[in-house]
Amino acid sequence: MSELVYNSPVGPLIISIHNQKVVGIKWETVASPKKGADKFQLDSFADETIKQLDNYFSGKTNSLGIKVQMQGTQFQKNVWKSLMRIPLGETRTYSDIAFEIGRPKAYRAVGSACARNKIPVIIPCHRVVGKNNVTGWSGNPGAKEWLLEHEKKNSFRE
């Protein structure tokens, strides 16, 4: 596994790559500094990942086509796949996602699956909100609101 640090507008992201797929993204913080990461030689997959993130954060694209490797239960994977279908600039509630995956009463479990998402931004858990407000976020403080506002301002039809 290799890691790279991507400097996003919402803080540095540590991106873990294995077998030409993103397997994790962590928000780099002072409390959790990066230790012992492999030296990463940029290959074509890493270059493409960086290019797509650059385009996303600069508002040049509505979608991220970055390959990911989801690691979780089948329920979690179903939730995460559902999140990836939410269009940029839109949000869904936990109940909406539960209904979409055929488990209408499992909205709390949807929240738990969002909290266990190891690939934020690419698997857009930030697009899931509570019925009455923006709730639940394990990333950098303020990042969820920033991402939602950024996507709202930059959404367009491709």
Place of tokens 């959404």: 155
Helix 107-115 and helix 74-84: axis angle, to 10°? 80
The reply to whether 125 belongs to the active site is yes
Closest by CA to 70, choosing from 84, 60, 80, is 80
DSSP annotation of 71 reads -
Which member of 13, 125, 143, 148 is catalytic?
A: 125
Cβ atoms of 72 and 113 closer than 8 Å: yes
- The residues annotated as belonging to the active site are 125
